[in-house]
Structure 1
Amino acid sequence: MSLGVIDAFKKIPTWLAPACALCRLPLDNQAQYGLCSACQAWFAATVRCPRCGLPCLTVTDACGQCLHSPPPWQRLFCIGDYQFPLSHMIHQFKYQRQFWQARDLAARLADTIKQPAPLLTAVPLHWRRQWYRGFNQSELLAQALAQQLGSQFSPTLFTRRRATPAQQSLTKQQRERNLTGAFELNQRPTHSHIAIVDDVVTTGSTMRQLCHLLLEVGIERIDIYCLCRTPEPSVLLTP
């Protein structure tokens, strides 16, 4: 091989090399989850209530809110709050159809889960919304996460019986009323420990509706696996 050919190979553009999903620079030796070591610094660990997933001032088994009004699930696992860069990555995944983000996001989330549920399912979309969008982002995430954790995945455990207005501008009480009777359990799961997967959990209204359906048929433990937990107006909860 001539020196000219060797020099040509050395000058291959860097855009042919794997790039960081955030800064788009070539991945270094310390890269994880599709991000370079510099961008990994955005994902510093935060002390969270293991029950609701919201930030806490100190390590605790349950924050004051969960002690007063415990949610119907046992544990909530998330990567972080809904803020940059996680919010940006989810937006790319959800609205720019960057489906490959599901694998790296699922891998990061899987590393926070030490005792995974044997069965995972996803928050369902109404059929019209799924037809319009072409996919269910929570389903893609749950499928990738089940592969990472070695769990089973049931995409048809729930059905969304009716379309509901967008939740973003609604209060917690309005969200609860908006979702009442919106979901249906298609069959009783064979496992007593189940995890429900979604991309973002805000007030938890959707999760509460799904959890109640599972509890009614005797499911003993329910966990929530999500990418982001949207902080409440009071950012930190006291233990």
Structure 2
Amino acid sequence: MLTDWIKKHTTYLFPSHCELCHMVIEPEAFHPQFCVTCQLRFAPTIRCRRCGLVTPEVTEMCGECLVSPPLWTRLYCVGDYQPPLASYVHRLKYEGQYWQAKTLSGLLAPRIDTRPDLITFVPVHWRRYCYRGYNQSEHLAWQISRELAIPCDAVFKKVRSTPRQQGMDKKQRRNNVRQAFCLTKAIEVEHIAIVDDVLTTGSTVHQLCKLLLGNGVKTVDIYCICRTPEPSNR
């Protein structure tokens, strides 16, 4: 009770301020870093529940998925790769601000309404890991794991360094990551979620889904911060 009293009165005397507008964050705000008004900038968009792309109305499978369904069952995301969301992803991925994983996971975790047996993440090649010092998707996965109280573990290894995929179309991206990954351990669960920071064509997670589904996993979900439209040249 004393701890609650101290927290209540400390918040009153020294209120937190929104990172975007710098106004005081209201008690009813669900995210500790943004006020209620700015949280609306991260409001969910109507999307296909299978592929995660924007649709006119909520649907389990959009027309694209009916024609060519992805290997995963559900995709959860915060939004498109646009400000202000994009700036937080950029800080996490390129500016060494690994603590932004907590900010972003706090936006994503409340939207996840299924419970996998295990959460894992897209691996990076050891050269990229040494250069950056960490794997941003791993940080996101562990934060989401804590938020949802679901185990997290590394089950993939990237065995081949690949060129960056910016500017590649869908076919080029698929070829770029083919046979670039392997499993590092036997899989003993049936439902796994894979965490990535940004998903465009889904080429990388497609390869990871193939590995899981070929080794006894029945259901794969994708958790990503940004789901961007695919390049027009496929």
Listed as ranges, the gaps of 5+ residues in structure 2 are: 1-12
Give TM-score, length-normalised by structure 2: 0.88
Whole-Å separation in 1 of the counterparts to 2:120 and 2:165: 21
Partner of 1:141: 140
Partner of 1:158: 156
Tell whether the 8 Å contact from 1:82 to 1:231 is kept in structure 2 after alignment: no
Deviation of residue 79 (structure 1)?
0.8
Paired letter, 1:104: T
CA distances 1:76-116 after superposition (whole Å, capped 9, x unpaired): 01111111111111112222222332123112211111122
Q: Does 1:216 align with 2:214?
A: yes
Tell whether the 8 Å contact from 2:96 to 2:132 is kept in structure 1 after alignment: no
2:226 to 217, 223, 228: 228
User: Using a 3 Å threshold, how does the CA distance of structure 1 residues 159 and 117 change in structure 2: closer, same or farther?
Assistant: same
Partner of 1:5: none
Paired letter, 1:163: S
Which runs of structure 2 are paired with 1:24-39 in the superposition (5 Å)? 24-33=22-31, 34-39=33-38
Greater CA deviation, 180-189 or 19-28?
19-28
Aligned length: 219
Listed as ranges, the gaps of 5+ residues in structure 1 are: 1-13, 235-239
Partner of 1:176: 174
What percent of counterpart residues are identical? 49
Partner of 2:3: none
Deviation of residue 74 (structure 1)?
0.4
1:105 is paired with a residue of what secondary structure? helix
User: Using a 3 Å threshold, how does the CA distance of structure 1 residues 19 and 93 change in structure 2: closer, same or farther?
Assistant: farther
Partner of 2:114: 115
1:152 is paired with a residue of what secondary structure? coil
Tell whether the 8 Å contact from 2:123 to 2:135 is kept in structure 1 after alignment: yes
Give TM-score, length-normalised by structure 1: 0.87
Deviation of residue 17 (structure 1)?
5.2
Partner of 1:92: 91
1:53 is paired with a residue of what secondary structure? coil
Paired letter, 1:227: I
Paired letter, 1:203: T
Whole-Å separation in 1 of the counterparts to 2:145 and 2:72: 19
CA distances 1:104-142 after superposition (whole Å, capped 9, x unpaired): 311221111112212011100000000000010000000
Greater CA deviation, 97-106 or 49-58?
97-106
Tell whether the 8 Å contact from 1:90 to 1:199 is kept in structure 2 after alignment: yes
1:87 is paired with a residue of what secondary structure? helix
2:197 is paired with a residue of what secondary structure? strand
Partner of 2:203: 205
Paired letter, 2:171: Q
2:111 is paired with a residue of what secondary structure? coil
Deviation of residue 149 (structure 1)?
0.9
Tell me: higher relative CO, structure 1 or 2? Use CA pairs within 8 A at least 6 residues apart: 1
Tell me which stretches of 4 or more aligned residues in structure 1 moved more than 4 Å: none
Deviation of residue 21 (structure 1)?
2.6
1:81 is paired with a residue of what secondary structure? coil
1:79 is paired with a residue of what secondary structure? coil
Partner of 1:71: 70
Q: Does 1:44 align with 2:47?
A: no
RMSD over aligned Cα atoms:
1.7
Tell whether the 8 Å contact from 1:120 to 1:195 is kept in structure 2 after alignment: yes
Paired letter, 1:31: A
Partner of 2:60: 61
Whole-Å separation in 1 of the counterparts to 2:69 and 2:129: 32
